[in-house]
């Protein structure tokens, strides 16, 4: 199996870095990626991940000759590359076609309660919840489904919620050619609920407001709408 010059620089994690992970601190608004991240194709990545995940299961003492477990390493590898982390690959970035705002709609447009599933980059366990997106047209609009696709694209990668919020907001600005964008995310973090403090009731909220959404009245209108039943 070819690895095309991939170099895996692995170093021990010091206690301070473990604290960063527990406190859910993001180090950048961009997803941290190596320059050679796409030197391998998807099938090569699946083969390697399968091999390494099989070893993890062996270390844990699982019997991989069991019919229920034997196919798990391959299933996990395909899931990582093709599904839950497919948003790492820029070739999967949704193409959002712009349309003229011929009906001259000049009010806020809101797409609320967009369900998303992501994974915490510190423990690789699920983050899930709702994303609410709003914008004012600068003369262009996009199909509503494209907003959902933008959310899904940035969700399908190892994430922290703060970064996810910013990435969705900035992509909406770029695609729509407008500064007037608002994003709110309410999410559950399984790294909080299923490990560590074990709090199953708490949720995390983040927001991104730019352009007109920095005006308190417009911000309040947006928040009131997404909180209404």
Catalytic residue among 119, 159, 173, 191: 191
* Residue-wise pLDDT tens digits, 46-83: 999 999 999 999 999 999 999 999 999 999 999 999 99
More confident residue, 56 or 13: 56
Q: Write the CATH number for 49.
A: 1.10.286.10
Q: Which of 24, 50, 119, 121 is catalytic?
A: 121
| 107 a catalytic residue | no
pLDDT bin (cut points 50, 70, 90) of residue 30 is very high
Q: How confident is the model at residue 110 (pLDDT cuts 50, 70, 90)?
A: very high
**209 in the same domain as 113:** yes
Q: Residues 47, 127: one domain?
A: no
Range of the domain at 183: 98-227
**Does residue 128 register a pLDDT over 90?**
yes
Given the residues 24, 119, 132, 189, the one annotated as active site? 189
Q: Is residue 50 annotated as a catalytic residue, yes or no?
A: no
pLDDT tens digit string along 34-48? 999 999 999 999 999
- Would 187 be classed as within a structural domain? yes
pLDDT of residue 134: 98
pTM: 0.86
Q: What percent of the chain has pLDDT over 90?
A: 79
Lowest mean pLDDT among 108-117, 122-131, 150-159, 186-195: 186-195
Residues 211, 140 within the same domain: yes
Domain identity same for 74 and 165:
no
Q: How confident is the model at residue 132 (pLDDT cuts 50, 70, 90)?
A: very high
Residues 113 and 76 in one domain: no
**Do 150 and 203 belong together in one domain?**
yes
pLDDT(199) > 90: no
Res 4: pLDDT: 46
**122 is a catalytic site residue:** yes
On whether residue 46 sits in a domain, the answer given is yes
Does the annotation count 132 as an active-site position? no
Residues 84 and 125 in one domain: no
Catalytic residue (choose from 24, 50, 119, 120) = 120
Which residue among 152, 159, 161, 167 is the active-site one?
161
* Count of the separate structural domains present in the chain: 2
Q: Are residues 68 and 134 in the same domain?
A: no
Same domain, 116 and 206: yes
Q: Are residues 124 and 172 in the same domain?
A: yes
How much is the pLDDT for 14? 57
DSSP line for the chain:
---TT------PPPHHHHHHHHTT--S-SS----TTTTSS-HHHHHHHHHHHHHHHHHHTT--TTSHHHHTHHHHHHHIIIIIITGGGSGGG-----EEE-TT---S-EEEEEEEEEEEETTT--EEEEEEEEEE--SSEEE-HHHHHHHHHHHHSSEE-HHHHHHHHHHHHHHHHT-S-EEEEEEEEEHHHHSSTT--SS--EEEEEE-GGGGSHHHHHHHHHHHH--
| pLDDT of amino acid 8 | 47
Q: Tell me the CATH number at 218.
A: 3.30.1130.10
The residue from 122, 152, 159, 173 that is catalytic is 122
Task: State mean pLDDT over 192-208.
Answer: 76
Residue 21 lies in a domain: yes
Q: How confident is the model at residue 202 (pLDDT cuts 50, 70, 90)?
A: confident
């Amino acid at each position: 199996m070819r690895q095309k010059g991939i170099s895996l620089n692995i170093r021990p994690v010091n206690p301070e870095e473990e604290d960063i992970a527990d406190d859910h601190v993001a180090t950048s608004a961009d997803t941290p990626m190596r320059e050679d991240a796409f030197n391998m194709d998807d099938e090569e990545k699946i083969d390697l991940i399968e091999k390494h995940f099989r070893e993890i299961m062996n270390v844990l003492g699982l019997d991989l000759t069991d019919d229920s477990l034997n196919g798990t390493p391959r299933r996990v590898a395909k899931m990582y590359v093709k599904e839950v982390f497919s948003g790492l690959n820029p070739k999967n970035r949704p193409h959002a076609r712009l349309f003229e705002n011929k009906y001259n709609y000049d009010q806020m447009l809101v797409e609320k309660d967009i369900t998303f599933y992501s994974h915490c980059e510190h423990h690789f366990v699920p983050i899930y919840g709702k994303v609410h997106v709003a914008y004012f047209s600068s003369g262009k609009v996009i199909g509503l489904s494209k907003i959902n696709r933008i959310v899904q694209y940035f969700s399908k990668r190892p994430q922290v919620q703060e970064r996810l919020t910013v990435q969705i907001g900035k992509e909406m600005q770029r695609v729509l050619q407008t500064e007037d964008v608002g994003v709110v995310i309410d999410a559950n973090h399984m790294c909080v609920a299923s490990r560590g403090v074990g709090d199953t009731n708490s949720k995390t909220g983040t927001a991104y407001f730019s352009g007109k959404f920095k005006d308190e009245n417009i911000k309040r209108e947006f928040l009131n709408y997404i909180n209404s039943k």
